[in-house]
Chains A and B, each alone.
Chain A
Amino acid sequence: MNAAHLIRMANRIGDFFVAMPDREQAVRDVADHIARTWEPRMTRDLRAHVAAHGDADLSAIVREALVRLPP
């Protein structure tokens, strides 16, 4: 799927949770939100994009959350 769209969506999710005072919890919340609302091919394609092109376009909190996402 369109990687630019996926990156933008993920970063907007990160923008919300980054304001939370507990960073560890915020990272978990980003991962949880993606897991609960994204269809698996979206996560798969985002991971594939990161594998192919790196994660520089993702915000720090999303990069951390992506690692926590279930496979």
Chain B
Amino acid sequence: MSLLPEPDFGTPAADADGASPPLTLAIDGIEVVVPAGTSLMRAAALAGVAIPKLCATDCLQAVGACRLCLVEIDGRKGTPASCTTPAEAGMRVRTQSPRLTELRRNVMELTLSDHPLDCLTCAANGACELQDMAAAVGLREVRYGLAGAHHLADPRDDSNPYFGYDPAKCIVCFRCVRACDEQQGSFALTATGRGFATRIAAGTGGSFMDSDCVSCGACVAACPTATLIEKTARATGSAERAIATTCAYCGVGCGFLVEVDGPPDTPTIVRMTPSKQGQANRGHACVKGRFAWGYATHQDRVVRPMIRARITDPWREVSWDEALRHAAGEFRRIQREHGRDAVGAIVSSRCTNEEDYLVQKLVRAAFGNNNVDTCARVCHSPTGYGLGQTLGTSAGTQTFASVDKADVIVVIGANPGEAHPVFASRLKRRVRAGARLIVIDPRAIDLVDSPHVRADVHLQPRPGTNVAVLTALAHVIVTEGLLDEAFVAERCERQSFADWHNFVARPENSPEALQAASGVPAARVRAAARLYATADNAAIYYGLGVTEHAQGSTAVMAIANLAMATGNLGREGVGVNPLRGQNNVQGSCDMGSFPHELPGYRHVSDAATRTAFERAWGVDLLPTPGLRIPNMFDAALDGSFLGLYCQGEDPAQSDPDTRHVQAALAAMECVVVQDLFLNETARFAHVFLPGSSFLEKDGTFTNAERRISRVRRVMAPLAGMADWQVTLALAEALGYPMQYRHPSDIMDEIARLTPTFAGVSYEKLDRMGSLQWPCNDAAPAGTPTMHVGGFSSRPGGKGRFMIAQYVPSDEQTTSRHPLLLTTGRVLSQYNVGAQTRRTANVRFHAEDLLEIHPHDAEQRGIADGDWVGLESRAGATALRAEVTARVQPGVVYTTFHFPESGANIVTTDSSDWATNCPEYKVTAVQVRRLARPPARAGGAP
């Protein structure tokens, strides 16, 4: 139970289909109108009448177990449970009567007969539903005493780092079990025993840490007592207020309440609970957002500015003023000596929209060039290009809720269970309800085959061959008459469709012909194509396993082709849905952080757009593109790019071919790093400006649904300035002052200059909770579903098919490097781990491992847990092996969360043809068993 609970209507809202008219009934004489299918309990809550309850909560389906919510209905016998009784027209319901009071007191008495009456010392004191219900029913004594059988001595399970389980306090309401089943879909909890002996158990009865529990916290949020409660809440007691904000981890963008106690600038965080009002997550969370926020106050935070003349010198703490003057002076010196274009900036998808906007403005207006790029370069830049070329808008087409209406779901190159867990829970819920699932992934990710979700078809391409598979799927759709010809005729360009049709219909693009390249049996491709194309509603979800390839942009366009060809766009349940890796990938792209685009994806060569910004900013803007991140590093090595402002990003760890990146950084004359911690890039920095966490500032993030949500300050910036203020101060030191009093002023400017954001303001965000762009006069409440009725950003409103020819990657296996390495993420760690490695999440995943197939392991004499050397043409590193059939023979896999394992030491400079997004997913490597742990590898014994 939340210490500061949001309203709980007892049962979920009815799934109103619009076919049945609303019902009118009376609760305690109060008339109320509700949708058909609404429970009496919810109807009562809507009428302002609270019915006592214990097992019911509006996040979960009602089960009618606790018998506390009994009511009387005129003309009916008995006292039915209001949570499981649907409202009917004309019903007259009483929630209070002497008989109901007596029944409820008896229920409470029995419940409390096996509960420690230690309220004054209980962590949930004052925020306990059991306590509240005892008061509500007027319980004054428990006649049964505690002399009989009880569970008060049951041992506590504190194995989980974030929450404890105290079975002595458990009232066996099953809310935790149901939350795990219905919300999270892990089915990790169960009830053992029968009758009085019934107990809640994790897994088969061991500890939470040994079970399938993924620590999402749904059970903790659902628990009405202190049985399952956060350890921080145990330690700190009740919160006095809560601040609504948005998670700073993945691109789902969950809404949270930060519960705090103490002074406004330096509060103690009691806990973070997922908000039911969060329009992306609806009260659900994952182990990162829910629990892994301790990094914000970790002892490693650097909170004083520092400078040094050379990267070999020790750091020297200085004032903000000195640090900013030094940085600005160095940038101006470099420009004087090496030209205007010798400096630039990298912004982070972890920063807010307002911060990203400010940095690109600083680069364009103060530096006077377009050398600004975002870390979206190395993840979803192909999405921006590919969807822009085909559908006209560089963004996903749906809401997350849209998946609830999908009949066939395709997941390609994404592992949402690990990387987008809250959306994954929703997707799995839809699959459990009957939707068919196609997974296209070189690995057997959990969605392929887990206890409650199984893919109907798993296509397992060799890394680097997505386009071959997607084109083969298109071939089947075209040659087997599975096109939605009416959609294509009405909504798409005639000529580009004809060209694409002719191309994919060629025999060389058949599944049989492409099988040799992709390794995917043709029959499976045909089965997948038929399943996708014949569904009423089919939706494609994809991730970095699509974009981070030499043909990343081609694959995105091939996906858009499939959706257009089958008419799966422009309504709920369908669409093309990029799953963005970081919290604000979408936003950083929207904000003009790419070197060729001003905010709103408008090319710098567009004179009208440039003129609008020139007038607003009072400067002349360059009409030619700036350097992208990989180009910056190449230019640094040839001596023409020597100054970098790097905000919230760590390319020395996150970008491919580490040796090359580090050499480039070392060649620069002024690297300014603005971050929470002294990250890997800071090793090459001359100026360190302390960053602020998402808890320390106001702003907005835009998630993968194009949903703009507010980030609200919970505490004062530890270093005295929020990131947006630091950028303002740097701009001023550069001689280009910007006048903003608050991030809302920045958003107002964005709205004035960016048509898709024209209707966005903090006032409207506060009023509506969130907004999905485009939000303007044509769509004042935002746009949940894109391309309804037409592709409005395309010429003539017509979708454009693009020919997507498979071109083999330059990264091919050889006798020297006979395996293909692909990379990914785990649930508990986030990107380069700078945040999550500084939390107890290391208990779940403490090092990067190399997954290798048993066949390849046996050939090399490698056993599970052995140290292995991993070598590519770019470099070599070492880590421990995990022998598993999740990967196919010939393929190895690892994550990149720990700098000591250095996955990016081996990834190469191969990149997407259109955007330079690195080909992280395909690297030819060799793996050898090491006789002993390497001296440099982390986690070595």
A20 adjacent to B803 (CB under 8 Å):
yes
In the complex formed, the residue of B with least CB distance to A26 is B803
B635 adjacent to A41 (CB under 8 Å):
yes
> A12-B550, A16-B807, A33-B914 given. 14 additional CB < 8 A pairs?
A1-B635, A1-B638, A12-B913, A13-B914, A15-B807, A16-B805, A19-B503, A21-B502, A36-B596, A36-B605, A36-B625, A37-B628, A41-B635, A42-B631
Shortest Cβ gap from B346 to chain A (Å): 15
Report the separation of the CA atoms of residues A1 and B553 in the bound assembly, to the nearest whole angstrom.
Answer: 24
Shortest Cβ gap from B339 to chain A (Å): 10
Chain B at the A interface: SS class: loop
B502 adjacent to A15 (CB under 8 Å):
no
B909 at the A interface (CB under 8 A) = yes
* Best-surrounded residue of B371, B627, B810, B915 (most CB of chain A within 10 A): B627
Report the separation of the CA atoms of residues A8 and B912 in the bound assembly, to the nearest whole angstrom.
Answer: 11
* Best-surrounded residue of A9, A12, A37, A39 (most CB of chain B within 10 A): A39
A5 at the B interface (CB under 8 A) = yes
A9 adjacent to B596 (CB under 8 Å):
no
B578 at the A interface (CB under 8 A) = no
* Best-surrounded residue of A16, A36, A45 (most CB of chain B within 10 A): A16
Q: What residues on A are CB-neighbors of B573 within 8 Å? A: none
Contact of A20 among B499, B595, B625, B628 (CB under 8 A): B499
Write out, one digit per residue, whether chain B residues 348-383 have a CB within 8 A of any chain A CB (1) or not (0).
000000000000000000000011000000000000
In the complex formed, the residue of A with least CB distance to B630 is A5
A36 adjacent to B634 (CB under 8 Å):
no
A39 adjacent to B913 (CB under 8 Å):
no
Report the separation of the CA atoms of residues A22 and B914 in the bound assembly, to the nearest whole angstrom.
Answer: 20
Shortest Cβ gap from B747 to chain A (Å): 28
B91 at the A interface (CB under 8 A) = no
Write out, one digit per residue, whether chain B residues 589-631 have a CB within 8 A of any chain A CB (1) or not (0).
0000001100000010100000000000000000011111001
Q: What residues on B are CB-neighbors of A36 within 8 Å? A: 596, 603, 605, 625
Report the separation of the CA atoms of residues A19 and B913 in the bound assembly, to the nearest whole angstrom.
Answer: 14
Report the separation of the CA atoms of residues A41 and B807 in the bound assembly, to the nearest whole angstrom.
Answer: 28
Interface residues contributed by chain B, number (CB under 8 Å) = 34
In the complex formed, the residue of A with least CB distance to B803 is A19
Residues of chain B having any CB pair with chain A under 8 Å: 341, 370-371, 499, 502-503, 550, 553-554, 595-596, 603, 605, 624-628, 631, 634-635, 637-638, 640, 803, 805, 807, 810, 909, 911, 913-916
Residues of chain A having any CB pair with chain B under 8 Å: 1-2, 5, 8-9, 12-13, 15-16, 19-21, 33, 36-42, 45
Chain A at the B interface: SS class: helix
Q: What residues on A are CB-neighbors of B640 within 8 Å? A: 1, 41
A1 adjacent to B805 (CB under 8 Å):
no
B807 adjacent to A39 (CB under 8 Å):
no
Q: What residues on B are CB-neighbors of A15 within 8 Å? A: 807, 913
Shortest Cβ gap from A44 to chain B (Å): 10
Report the separation of the CA atoms of residues A20 and B498 in the bound assembly, to the nearest whole angstrom.
Answer: 12
B810 adjacent to A40 (CB under 8 Å):
no
Shortest Cβ gap from A23 to chain B (Å): 13
B499 adjacent to A40 (CB under 8 Å):
no
Report the separation of the CA atoms of residues A37 and B370 in the bound assembly, to the nearest whole angstrom.
Answer: 11
Task: Using A36-B605, A39-B627 as known contacts, say yes or no to A5 and B596 having CB atoms under 8 A apart.
Answer: no
Shortest Cβ gap from A25 to chain B (Å): 10
Report the separation of the CA atoms of residues A21 and B499 in the bound assembly, to the nearest whole angstrom.
Answer: 7
Report the separation of the CA atoms of residues A20 and B603 in the bound assembly, to the nearest whole angstrom.
Answer: 24
Q: What residues on A are CB-neighbors of B634 within 8 Å? A: 1-2, 5
Report the separation of the CA atoms of residues A41 and B632 in the bound assembly, to the nearest whole angstrom.
Answer: 11
Q: What residues on B are CB-neighbors of A2 within 8 Å? A: 634, 637-638
Task: Using A5-B634, A8-B810, A36-B605 as known contacts, say yes or no to A19 and B624 having CB atoms under 8 A apart.
Answer: no
